[in-house]
């Protein structure tokens, strides 16, 4: 699947294109398919998200998973500070990242 991602203009937070808006949760990401590059271009012009770009990913039973390690770390947070990730209370939350 083609995922569109970027960083929120105001907070810098990692965000994922949901089909209608942006979410900080990678699980909300949709397959943008052949529209992905056009969405990234359009959203960049809208100036709410910094440098949106298209990545490969897959939808698994556990949720959407970016293909590359860099984007998997972006999806969760720093592997060395689980307390600062999106799921600080879940010690297994990062098991799929590495």
Partner 1 sequence: MYKYDQYDQAMVDARVAEFRDQVRRRLEGKLSEDQFKPLRLMNGLYLQLHAYMLRVAVPYGTLNSRQMRALADIAEKYDRGYGHFTTRQNIQYNWIKLEDAGDILADLAAVEMHAIQTSGNCIRNISSDHFAGATADELVDPRPYAELLRQWSSFHPEFLALPRKFKIAVIASEADRAAMKLHDIGIRIVKNDAGELGAAFYVGGGMGRTPMIAPCIREFVPLDQLVTYAEACLRVYNRHGRRDNKFKARIKILVHELGADEYTRQVEEEFAHLLDQGIEPPRAELERIKTFFADPAFETDLPEDIDRSDPEFALWVDRNCVAHKAPGYVSAVISLKPVGGIPGDASAEQMRLIADLAKRYSFDELRVMHTQNIVLPHVRKADLHALWSALDEAGLAAPNLDQVDDIIACPGLDYCSLANARSIPVAQQISERFAANGKGKILGELKLKISGCINACGHHHAGHIGILGVDRKGVENYQLLLGGSEADDTSLGKITGPGFDEAGIVDAVEKATDVYLARRQDGERFLDTYRRIGMEPFKEALYG
Query: What does the buried/exposed string (b/e) look like for 50-69 if buried means 16 or more CB atoms within 10 Å of the residue's CB?
Result: eebebbebeeeeeebbbeee
35: buried, middle or exposed (CB in 10 Å: 19+, 13-18, 0-12)? middle
3-state secondary structure of 41: helix
Please answer whether residues 47 and 22 qualify as being in contact, where contact means their C-beta atoms are separated by less than 8 angstroms.
Answer: no
Instruction: Point out which span in 26-34, 35-43, 66-74, 87-95 binds partner 1 (CB under 8 A).
Output: 66-74
Examine residue 10 and tell whether it contacts partner 1 (CB under 8 A).
yes
Measure the CA–CA gap between 44 and 1, rounded to whole angstroms.
Answer: 21
Least distance in angstroms from the C-beta of 68 to partner 1:
6
Give residues 15-44 in contact with partner 1 (rule: CB under 8 A). 44
- Whole-number minimum distance, CB 18 to partner 1, in Å? 19
Minimum distance, C-beta of residue 5 to partner 1, in the bound complex (Å): 11
Asked if 60 interacts with partner 1 (CB under 8 A), we say: no
Q: Can you give the binding site for partner 1, defined by CB under 8 A?
A: 7, 9-14, 44, 47, 50-51, 67-70, 73-74, 77-81, 84
């Amino acid at each position: 699947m083609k995922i569109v991602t970027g960083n929120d203009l105001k907070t810098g937070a990692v965000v994922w294109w949901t089909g209608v808006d942006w979410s900080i949760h990678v699980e909300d990401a949709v397959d943008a398919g052949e529209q992905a590059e056009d969405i990234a271009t359009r959203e960049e012009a809208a100036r709410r998200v910094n440098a949106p770009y298209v990545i490969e990913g897959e939808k698994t039973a556990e949720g959407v998973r970016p293909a590359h390690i860099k984007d998997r770390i972006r999806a969760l947070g720093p592997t060395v500070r689980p307390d600062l990730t999106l799921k600080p209370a879940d010690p297994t939350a990062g098991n799929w990242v590495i």
